[in-house]
Structure 1
């Protein structure tokens, strides 16, 4: 049964995110993996409160930044997906990996 490896990349640095995803996509294509994406998700605006002390107190304001996300899927090619799971990515890029096993229509366990 084939596996689908779903990768989700997030970063506040759009250039680092795009470079990471583009280089991964090129590597997957060179190795002959069936790859779908990258798909761009809407960016998310995050606000973080700032305080002048560690103890509870008055808030100084907030700091805001934008988080960008991309999704990529690898179909089949389990050995290549395993290799991607062991790769080093930049510290500024957060990577989530999910593996789904697809069953043929009418398959009974």
Structure 2
């Protein structure tokens, strides 16, 4: 069975996101690892309400910001996926790593 490592990157800083994902993609290509992505999702606009005081009442204009997302998959190469998982990422970047197994086509469990 082949291991599949799914990486999800999110950030409000698009330049940092693009640089980091591009750096990882380049590293994977240099090492000859099978990789799918990066795939982009539509930017998500979020609004956060701001109160002037702790009790109910007056509010400020809501704080609005955009979150950008990129997804990648690494097939096989567990040692490379582990290396990516131990990288130091910028503080403005949120990284999620999910590891699963992919069974070969026609695989039957007895």
Would you call these one fold, judging by a TM-score over 0.5?
A: yes
SS class of match (2:71): strand
Distance 1:23 1:56 in 2: 47
1:87 correspondence with 2:92: no
Q: Does 1:77 align with 2:95?
A: no
CA RMSD of aligned residues (A): 1.3
May I ask how many residue pairs the two structures share in their alignment?
Answer: 109
TM-score (ref. length: structure 2) = 0.91
Equivalence for 2:99? 99
Q: Which residue in the other structure is 2:63 paired with? A: 63
Provide structure 2 residue ranges, at least 5 long, that are not aligned to the other structure.
none
Matches within 5 A, 1:11-90: 11-90=11-90
Structure 1: distance between partners of 2:54 and 2:30:
50
Deviations 1:31-68 (A, max 9, x none): 11111111111000000111223444432220101111
